[in-house]
Amino acid sequence: MQNILVTGGAGYIGSHICIQLRDAGYLPVVFDNLSNGHRDAVAQDIPFIEADIRDSNALDRAFSDFRPSAVIHMAALIEAGVSMLEPAQFYEVNTAGSLNLFEAMRRHNCHRIVLSSTAAVYGNTHLDLLNESLPVLPENPYGRSKAMIETMLADYSATYGFNTIVLRYFNAAGADPDGRTGERHDPETHLIPLALQTAAGVRKEMKIFGCDYETPDGTCVRDYIHVDDLAEAHVKALQNITPQEESAFEIINIGTGRGYSVKEIIKLCQNITGQNFPVSIEARRPGDAANLVADPTKAKMLLNWEPKFCSAHDIIRHAWNFYKKTMP
């Protein structure tokens, strides 16, 4: 059984990845400082290391103790809006922390990695579908920090023999269909859980930031990818990384190819929950792109991956079922 080091494995997406890694016959080893993750999201029989990727000594102990054959790197700050206010944190944790991890990998001769990246690296293109050949023009420090990590890994692959697959996520959403884990950010910043919290009466109203974008209804359009499908993409990426010594570097979009506007998502949340909660319009937030929808062709071609849950209705239904199970 191969050990796979999963940084950020106690987080929303990371916990789903660990479930699917175990189902595929791997042993995930979770490395997480619990700043955004939850200890109870990790099964008790999965090795857990509470530590920060900026801690070189903790990384060295993890590699020495568990000798992972590969790394799935999830640990990062992810709030694009916060990055506009506190960019230094994002460069310190995301960019410098990743460099620390890559150097630990070099010291311990572990050269296989799947990187969690983001569609935010594309910036504001106004294109209907985004493919991996587009230039990288991020609009916010979060996207820029991730673009820097991608660049570092391209250089590490070319120079140090890393075998790398970069997965550019679009909007992860939903919950495990069996209700084992789901989204529990605190504070919450993502559209679907915010809408569900409003439906549950935890919030007084749902805010829409900007209704004057160049989109069909004036609100931002996003490609929502079910977190279960996203986790499966990581397992397939891991299985597709060449085990040979020669280096490899690939960037692959993970999305559905279908976009939903903010207003459409809110309407679906109201229909699924049966709650016609109040909605208000606020000014645009700096750094928000108008349209981010994936061209998923490369993922299908290289990873033999396609999403099982293409409808936002299923994504929201699973998220609502998990929220009802875990709400205060």
Contact residues for 275 (Cβ-Cβ < 8 A; gap 6+): 198, 199, 200
Task: Give residue 285's identity as a one-letter amino acid code.
Answer: R
Unique residue bearing structure tokens 């849950």: 309
- The two three-digit tokens of residue 99, written as one number: 């460099």
Identify whether 26 is a catalytic site residue. Answer: no
Task: Give residue 155's identity as a one-letter amino acid code.
Answer: D
**Residues written for the chain:** 328
Phi, psi of 250 (to 5 degrees): -135, 145
d(CA 172, CA 72): 17
d(CA 90, CA 145): 6
12, 26, 142, 213: the catalytic one is 142
**Torsion over CA of 28, 32, 38 and 41, rounded to 10 degrees?**
0
Per DSSP bridges, beta strands 206-209 and 279-282 are parallel
- 10 Å CB burial of residue 81 (0-12, 13-18, 19+) is middle
Residues marked as catalytic: 142
